[in-house]
Amino acid sequence: MAIQLYHACNGNSNAYVTEIFYETYSIWQRSLFNVHLAKYYNMHIKKYVYINGPCMNQLELILPEVSCMVLGIENTGFPQIINNLERIREGVFYY
C-alpha cells in the first residue's frame, strides 16, 4: 500500500523506488529487537519518533524534541499559485 501511495503521489516513479521500498522493509523485518533504526514524522501525534524493529514496536519520541513541521499548502505562502498549478496539471482552466 505504501508503494502504491508513493507512486500515485510522485507520478508513477520508476521500479528502482519499488526495489528500495522492498529492501527497506526487509531490513526492518529482520531487525526484530533492534531500536532506533530510523526517524520519521508521525502525523497523528505531530512529533518525530523512532522506527524500531517489529518486536520493539512502541511509539518512542525523539528527545530533545525538535520543532514541529508546518504542513499544508496554506503554510507555503503560495496556496493560490499551487492551486492554479494543480488545475493546469488536471487540464481544468478557469478564466
Contacts of 44 (CB under 8 A, 6+ apart): none
Q: Which domain holds residue 35?
A: 2-69
Whether the predicted pLDDT of 52 surpasses 80: yes
For 18, counting Cβ atoms within 10 Å of its Cβ (0-12 exposed, 13-18 middle, 19+ buried), the class is middle
Distance CA 18, CA 3 (A): 6
Q: What is the DSSP letter of 36?
A: -
Instruction: Kindly state whether residue 7 falls inside one of the protein's structural domains.
Output: yes
Instruction: Kindly state whether residue 42 falls inside one of the protein's structural domains.
Output: yes
Q: What is the pTM of this model?
A: 0.52
C-alpha cell at 54: 517489529
Whether the predicted pLDDT of 57 surpasses 70: yes
CA of residue 45 relative to chain centroid, distance: 14
Res 94: pLDDT? 54
Of the chain, the percentage scoring pLDDT greater than 70 comes to 78
Better pLDDT: 81 or 47: 47
Our count of domains for the chain comes to 1
